[in-house]
Amino acid sequence: MTEKSADIPRHAPPKGASTRQQELLYDPNVATSSHAEQARTLIERVGTATLCTISHSHEGHPYGSFVTFAMDGEHPIFLISRLAEHTKNLLQNSKSSLLVAEGGDGNPLALGRVTLVGICEQVSDDERPRLKEIFVQRHPDSKFYADFGDFLFFRLEVDSVRYIGGFGRMSWFGDVDWAEAEPDPLYSSADGIIEHMNDDHQDAMLLICHTMSKATDATEPVMTGVDRYGFEMSVMTGDGRRPIRVAFENTCDNPDDVRSAMVNLVKIARSKV
Amino acid sequence: MTEKSADIPRHAPPKGASTRQQELLYDPNVATSSHAEQARTLIERVGTATLCTISHSHEGHPYGSFVTFAMDGEHPIFLISRLAEHTKNLLQNSKSSLLVAEGGDGNPLALGRVTLVGICEQVSDDERPRLKEIFVQRHPDSKFYADFGDFLFFRLEVDSVRYIGGFGRMSWFGDVDWAEAEPDPLYSSADGIIEHMNDDHQDAMLLICHTMSKATDATEPVMTGVDRYGFEMSVMTGDGRRPIRVAFENTCDNPDDVRSAMVNLVKIARSKV
């Protein structure tokens, strides 16, 4: 199950160091995607990862290798050569995990990453045509070796998931939560929505911020994220840049839904001025 | 020891598929950095990786986690919290590996990656001030938690190295080769040299290509790499874009050496016209 922030053990700063927590400027109970949903969305956006296997040549050592992967439902699949170290490892010991990390600038430890733990086994030939279709669609270059005799499909049946969304946002969850979590429907359109809002709708964001959060005199709003449940801004305050999250009235499944939801939020905001 | 390409097992394309090998357009014995040197250079350029440990909570499973690292000589060091999964894992079992992968565009399997296999143990307090200095210089953000009581330094003593430089370029090598391999002295200046050559010296590259390789009527040269031993170009030929590697007369340790070496190559090339 998802850990609450309060359950997370605390770091141990040196004595005398400042540990002041800043007050949150928005409703802490604002609708937000679950950690399982965030992890599932991250996985959908990223197609490369580190496969961790048990080495066949270095006894008892875990072995990390670079892989491309696609998703068969909630389970990652791999098209890997019998000649490769990870394949030799898996054919001898199927215990494995997959680390998928978000790319990006800034402090790398602030970015999201997910570890999927489970059993990774070769998939039967019956399933090969279906998996080939999924895999080649995700990684078009793989069509050049998808029919090579030494390339095999493996699937990692996910048993447990570790998600770290950045500093202090982390959970373990199990196969049931993982199977139920759907990737955010806006994952492929979010970047475009964010760019459009930052280019053309700073006034609307500021109005929403001033009337629906505690940052009543914030300036310079920058949208930093959007998902089916709402959106996030970074705004300038007397204490420097601070995050604000605002929920949509209804869940949004596509950019048109977001447009309507934003119009609706602005209407509500105007009524509060 | 480094494998020769001829020793690498071959993939198994379907019957009837074309397996024609294109003739190399340059001297196959041209001076080139060793796989150990290429791996050591890649490690120097990249500061994030996947640490693979043996899970303390999922019996016998390898566990992959995202880490920042710095180099203490040829061994990676980590500044990690006692609260983190990988730290709990290492305190129970020190067998580990570290996958470091090059970033970049294009086919991800064409990019370089290195797996360092060895024993990763906590470093004694005596070494902490020295390691802190190395680590904070590589990752300035770490100064905010470098003195936290729950953060410990670990060092991975490298025993074996697996290098994959792209398609068909791969080796295993041991601790002696790894300890002897130095990062390329041009690793931090290479991008600037490449940009300058591509902007201002296409004529020189073409002259060198026409007189010192088999691509005697190539056009559109693009420098793609440079290291202490020479440089690589992609040139347009009747068979499409092909790689050309040319060695410097002497090893280059800095951009000034490269400038002299290029002038020298152009002189030699002119004498051959």
The ipTM (two decimal places) reads 0.90
Chain B residues touching residue A100 (CB < 8 angstroms):
none
Interface test with A, best of B90, B92, B97 (most A CBs within 10 A): B97
Beta bridge partners of A80: A152
Q: Quick one: A52 and A113 in the same domain?
A: yes
The answer to whether the Cβ–Cβ distance between B12 and A115 falls below 8 Å is no
Name which of A208, A143, A252, A46 is nearest B17 in CA terms.
Answer: A143
Q: Is B14 on the interface with A (CB under 8 A)?
A: yes
User: Are the beta carbons of B53 and B252 closer than 8 angstroms?
Assistant: no
Predicted local distance difference test score (pLDDT) of residue B19:
64
Q: Which of A13, A68, A85 sits opposite B109 (nearest CB)?
A: A68
Does residue B241 belong to the interface with chain A, where contact is any CB pair within 8 Å?
Answer: no
Backbone angles phi, psi at A269, to 5 degrees: -60, -45
Tell me how many domains chain B contains.
2
Please report the pLDDT score of residue A252 as a whole number. Answer: 97
The most distant pair of C-alpha atoms in chain A lies apart, rounded to whole Å, by 69
Other C-beta atoms within 10 Å of A181: how many?
22
Strand-pair category, B240-247 with B70-72: unpaired
Together in a domain, A129 and A156: yes
> Chain B closest CA to A198's CA: distance in Å?
26
Q: Measured between beta carbons, which residues in chain B are less than 8 angstroms from residue A50? A: 50, 52, 64, 99, 101
For strands A48-54 and A62-68, give the pairing.
Answer: antiparallel
Of A125, A146, A180, at which residue does a domain stop? A180
CB-CB contact of B175 with B160 (8 Å): yes
- Nearest by CB to residue B61, choosing from A55, A97, A148, is A97
Q: How many CA atoms lie within 13 A of B165 on its CB side?
A: 18
Pick the closest to residue B242 from B216, B207, B273 (CA basis): B216
Strand, helix or coil at A159? strand
Number of H helices, E strands in chain B: 7, 11
Do A223 and A267 share a domain, yes or no? yes
Residue B163 and residue B197 in one domain: no
As a whole-number percent, the residues of chain B with pLDDT over 90 amount to 85
Question: Is A99 part of the contact surface with chain B (CB cutoff 8 Å)?
Answer: yes
The shortest CB-CB distance from B11 to any of A62, A85, A145 is to A145
Place of tokens 């999927």: A116
Separation of alpha carbons A132 and A143, rounded Å: 8
Beta carbons of B95 and A61 less than 8 Å apart: yes
Per-residue pLDDT at B5: 46
CA distance B148 to chain A (A): 4
Same domain, residue pair A264 and A193: yes
Which residues in chain A land under pLDDT 70? 1-8, 18-20
In this complex, do A85 and B162 lie within 8 Å of one another by their Cβ atoms? yes
The pLDDT of residue A19 is 64
B136 and A CB contact within 8 Å: no
Domain final position from A180, A210, A232:
A180
Chain A environment of B159 (Cβ under 8 Å): 58
| Interatomic CA distance for residues B87 and B121, integer angstroms | 10
Are residue A42 and residue A29 in the same domain, yes or no? no
Q: Is B63 close to A62, i.e. CB distance below 8 A?
A: yes
Q: What are the phi and psi torsion angles at B233 (to 5°)?
A: -125, 155
Cβ–Cβ contact A94 with B under 8 A: no
Out of A13, A52, A85, name the one closest to residue B148 (CB): A13
State whether B201 and B222 are in the same domain: yes
A43, A73 contact by CB (below 8 A): no
Q: Is beta strand B151-166 parallel, antiparallel or unpaired with respect to A240-247?
A: unpaired
Last residue of a domain, one of A159, A180, A201: A180
Q: What domain range is B210 assigned to?
A: 5-33+187-272
CA distances to A224, A257, A258, A266, B40 from A248, rounded to whole Å, are 15, 10, 8, 11, 50
Closest chain B residue to the Cα of A141, Cα to Cα: B107
Q: Do residue A161 and residue A58 come from a single domain?
A: yes
Q: Does A134 touch chain B (CB under 8 A)?
A: no
| Cα end-to-end span (Å), chain A | 41
**273 residues of chain B, pLDDT tens digit each:** 444 444 567 888 888 776 667 789 999 899 999 999 999 999 999 999 999 999 999 999 999 999 999 999 999 999 999 999 999 999 999 999 999 999 888 889 989 999 999 999 999 999 999 999 999 999 999 999 999 999 999 999 999 999 999 888 899 999 999 999 999 999 999 999 999 999 999 999 999 999 999 999 999 999 999 999 999 999 999 989 999 999 999 999 999 999 999 999 999 999 988
Q: Are residues A15 and A98 in the same domain?
A: no
CATH number assigned to the domain comprising residue B265: 3.20.180.10
What is the per-residue pLDDT for A2? 45
pTM of the entire structure?
0.91
For residue B273, the distance in angstroms to the closest alpha carbon of chain A comes to 41
Contact list in A for residue B152 (CB cut-off 8 A) is none
Inform me whether the C-beta atom of residue B195 falls under 8 Å from chain A C-beta atoms.
no
Q: Are residues A12 and A53 in the same domain?
A: no
Q: Given CB atoms, is B97 within the 8 Å cutoff of chain A?
A: yes
Same domain, B164 and B199: no
CATH number of the domain that residue B135 is part of: 2.30.110.10
Q: What is the pLDDT of residue A4?
A: 45
Shared-domain flag, residues A117 and A146: yes
Q: Which pLDDT does position B6 carry in this prediction?
A: 45
The span from the CA of B88 to the CA of B54, in Å, is 10
